[in-house]
Amino acid sequence: MCQIGDSEPQLRPSPSPWEEDPENGSPHKSHSHSAASSESDGLDPSDEGITSGSEEQRTPVKLPLHQIKAPGSVQALAVDDDVIFAGTQGGDIVVWSLETYELLATVPAHKESVLNLTLSDDKTLLFSAGADAIVNVWSSESLQRLYSIYSHFEIGDVFCVVHSTKIQTLFWGAQNASIQWYKLSTDTAVKFPTSALSPGSRKHRFFDSLGPGGTANVVADEGATNGLSNQGGRVLTAPSCNYLPYAHKSYIYSMLLVKGLFTPGKDEEVLITGAGDGVIKLWSIDDLAESGPKQITKFKNADSNVLSLSYRGSFLYAGLSDGRAHIYNLASNQLVQKLQVGHGDVSQILVSPESILCGTSQGWIKRYDDHFAELESWQAAAGKILAMGLTTTPDHDMLVTGGNDSVVSFWSGKPGSHDSAATSARSNDELVNALREFVAYRTVALNPMCVRDCHEAVTFLRKKCNAFGATTRLLSPQEGVDPILLARFPASKPGKSTRSILFYGHYDVVDAELDASSSNPTWNGDPFVLQPLDSFLYGRGVTDNKGPILAAIYAVADLVQHGSLSCNVTFLLEGDEEAGSRGFRQTVQSAHDAIGPVDYILLSNSYWLDDHIPCLTFGMRGVIHASVTVTSNRPDLHSGMDGKSVQHEPLKDLTVLLAALVGPSATKVTIPHFYDTVDELSESEVKAYASITSSLLPGHPEIKNEKAFALSLMQRWRYPNLTVHRIEVPEAKTAVTISGSAKATLSIRIVPSQTAEQIAQSLTDYLHAEFAKLQSSNTLAVTITSRADPWLADVNSEIYTALKDAIIDVWNPDIAAHQQRAFKMSAGGNSNHNNAPDTDRAGVASTPPTKSRPAQAAASSSTAKTDPPTRTSHRRASSLATTGFFPPSTLPREPLFIREGGSIPAISFLEHEFNAPAAMFPMGQASDNAHLDNERMRVENLYKGREVLKRVFARL
Q: How far apart are CA 170 and CA 183, in angstroms?
A: 6
Any idea how long the chain is? 956
- Candidates 110, 190, 117; CA nearest to 151 is 190
DSSP 870: P
Q: How far apart are CA 71 and CA 406, in angstroms?
A: 7
pLDDT of the residue at 870: 32
DSSP 529: S
Q: How far apart are CA 649 and CA 632, in angstroms?
A: 7
Active site residues: 508, 577
Residue 423, phi then psi, degrees to nearest 5: -75, -40
Q: Per the domain annotation, does 562 fall within a domain? A: yes
Query: Edge to edge, what strands does the sheet with 334-340 contain?
Result: 306-312, 315-320, 324-329, 334-340
pLDDT of the residue at 156: 94
Residues 185/187/192/198 CA torsion (nearest 10 deg): -120
Q: Per the domain annotation, does 439 fall within a domain? A: yes
- Considering the domain architecture, whether residues 654 and 753 belong to the same structural domain is answered as yes
- Considering the domain architecture, whether residues 463 and 511 belong to the same structural domain is answered as yes
Beta bridge partners of 792: 619
Non-local (6+) Cβ contacts of 30 within 8 A are 58, 59, 60, 61, 376, 377
- Considering the domain architecture, whether residues 796 and 784 belong to the same structural domain is answered as no
- CB burial of residue 627 (10 Å; 0-12, 13-18, 19+): middle
- CB burial of residue 493 (10 Å; 0-12, 13-18, 19+): exposed
- Considering the domain architecture, whether residues 653 and 585 belong to the same structural domain is answered as no
Q: How far apart are CA 366 and CA 379, in angstroms?
A: 9
774, 789, 804 — which closes off a domain? 789
Q: How far apart are CA 43 and CA 324, in angstroms?
A: 14
Burial code (b: 16+ CB inside 10 Å, e: under 16) for 386-395 equals bbbbbbeeee
Q: From residue 864, how far is each of 83, 139, 222 by CA, in Å? A: 15, 12, 20
Question: Domain of 656: which CATH number?
Answer: 3.30.70.360
The total number of structural domains in the chain stands at 2
Q: Which amino acid is at 760?
A: A
- Considering the domain architecture, whether residues 572 and 635 belong to the same structural domain is answered as no
Residue 375, phi then psi, degrees to nearest 5: -95, -40
Per-block average pLDDT, block size 10, for the chain (956 residues)? Answer: 38 36 35 35 39 44 90 95 94 94 94 96 95 95 93 94 94 96 68 47 55 54 42 86 94 93 76 96 90 92 92 93 94 92 94 92 94 93 95 80 96 64 65 96 96 97 97 95 97 93 98 74 90 96 97 97 96 96 96 96 95 95 96 71 66 94 92 95 93 90 90 94 93 70 95 95 97 94 94 96 97 56 46 37 31 33 38 44 70 92 93 97 95 95 97 95
3-state secondary structure of 635: coil
- Considering the domain architecture, whether residues 615 and 658 belong to the same structural domain is answered as no
Confirm if 794 and 823 have CB atoms less than 8 A apart: no
Burial code (b: 16+ CB inside 10 Å, e: under 16) for 763-783 equals bbebbeebbeebebebebebe
Q: How far apart are CA 574 and CA 731, in angstroms?
A: 37
Question: How many Å is the Cα radius of gyration of the chain?
Answer: 33
- Considering the domain architecture, whether residues 782 and 638 belong to the same structural domain is answered as yes
Non-local (6+) Cβ contacts of 456 within 8 A are 441
Q: How far apart are CA 820 and CA 818, in angstroms?
A: 6
Q: Per the domain annotation, does 228 fall within a domain? A: no
pLDDT of the residue at 384: 96
- Considering the domain architecture, whether residues 608 and 647 belong to the same structural domain is answered as no
Question: Domain of 450: which CATH number?
Answer: 3.40.630.10
Q: How far apart are CA 637 and CA 734, in angstroms?
A: 10
Q: Per the domain annotation, does 112 fall within a domain? A: no
pLDDT of the residue at 813: 74
Q: From residue 147, how far is each of 138, 183, 364, 552 by CA, in Å? A: 7, 12, 36, 48
Q: Per the domain annotation, does 464 fall within a domain? A: yes
Q: How far apart are CA 570 and CA 472, in angstroms?
A: 9
- Considering the domain architecture, whether residues 470 and 495 belong to the same structural domain is answered as yes
Q: In the Cβ-directed half-sphere of 354, how many Cα atoms lie within 13 Å?
A: 12
- Considering the domain architecture, whether residues 611 and 515 belong to the same structural domain is answered as yes
Domain hosting residue 501, numbered range = 421-620+792-812+893-955
Q: Which amino acid is at 605?
A: N
Beta bridge partners of 360: 346
Strands 92-97 and 135-139 turn out to be unpaired
Q: From residue 871, how far is each of 98, 540, 832, 879 by CA, in Å? A: 21, 20, 10, 18
DSSP-derived secondary structure for 641-692:
TT--TT---HHHHHHHHHHHHHTTTTSS--STTTTTTSPPPPHHHHHHHHHH
Q: Per the domain annotation, does 3 fall within a domain? A: no
DSSP 29: P
Burial code (b: 16+ CB inside 10 Å, e: under 16) for 249-270 equals eebbbbbbbbbebeeeeeeebb
DSSP-derived secondary structure for 218-235:
----TTTTTTTGGGSSEE
Q: From residue 479, how far is each of 85, 460, 461, 786 by CA, in Å? A: 55, 21, 21, 20
Q: How far apart are CA 175 and CA 245, in angstroms?
A: 11
pLDDT of the residue at 427: 83
DSSP E strands in 165-312: the ranges are: 169-174, 179-183, 234-237, 243-244, 252-259, 269-275, 279-284, 294-300, 306-312
Q: In the Cβ-directed half-sphere of 62, how many Cα atoms lie within 13 Å?
A: 27
Q: How far apart are CA 274 and CA 253, in angstroms?
A: 6
Confirm if 17 and 378 have CB atoms less than 8 A apart: no
Residue 632, number of CB atoms within 10 A of its CB: 22
- Considering the domain architecture, whether residues 738 and 782 belong to the same structural domain is answered as yes
Inter-axis angle of helices 428-440 and 451-467, nearest 10: 160
User: Would you give the end-to-end CA distance of the chain in angstroms?
Assistant: 57
Q: How far apart are CA 155 and CA 136, in angstroms?
A: 15
- Considering the domain architecture, whether residues 469 and 456 belong to the same structural domain is answered as yes
Structural element, H or E, at residue 63: none
734, 754, 789 — which closes off a domain? 789
